[in-house]
Structure 1
């Protein structure tokens, strides 16, 4: 399946991908900006709190970079936003697992606390859900471009449903 070609740019799912990327990007930019506003030191693990979570300058930089990437994905939209949401969501989940195992250890260079781990899991699931919305389900509607791509012969028999690879 070619992920970049199966969803028309003007399909209603593109709005969900854009909105999800923009919302999560703004949340991360806000968190990173608050970290910079408090003038935290890089890699400090003293436990400075921003919005209930521990933070340092390194985490603020990562939050701003990822937030800007999500906003860029929202600006592009379509499958780019969807794929970026799934990638960033997966990275948040991996980060949550990593930091869960390094809590209270020297390898916790981003100063994660348990609230950060929970936030990482929650943000990862939220961003990933926005990215996968309308792509994965056992009951996709027959006008869904992902259903049509996976069931090309069934889509050809559906009246009034055009195949995504044909006649754009």
Structure 2
């Protein structure tokens, strides 16, 4: 029939950006993340040192300190990947960024490589929060649990409005 549009709930799978173990965001030892002040999502205890793109989309920001970056999907889901806790204080030491703002990325594209030894020595934690920063605009976020492999496994499923 013409003129009748059905609203559909769009689902977006956020893939694992790195190998590791998923941790509930509420259990992260940092109140800014645990209380969802920055966004809702999950954290990863990483087993590797290369962060890959968990989505097809665009890089919207690379922090000058190289410890975090923002991505955006075609349907406006905004994702923050924050590598380690208190890593802003490292002022870029131990990080190598492979993208810049406005770059288009595909699932699996390298984003950031980090030196695990420097972070272990100088940061509070290696934990990597992966957050939906505009989560209030989403219909639902389903969080996964357990061990994850990059790109193979989904860490979150987001239902957009």
TM over 0.5: no
More strand by share: 2
TM-score tier by shorter-chain length is under 0.3
Q: What TM-score results when the alignment is normalised by the length of structure 2? A: 0.25
Instruction: Give TM-score, length-normalised by structure 1.
Output: 0.25
Higher helix share: 1
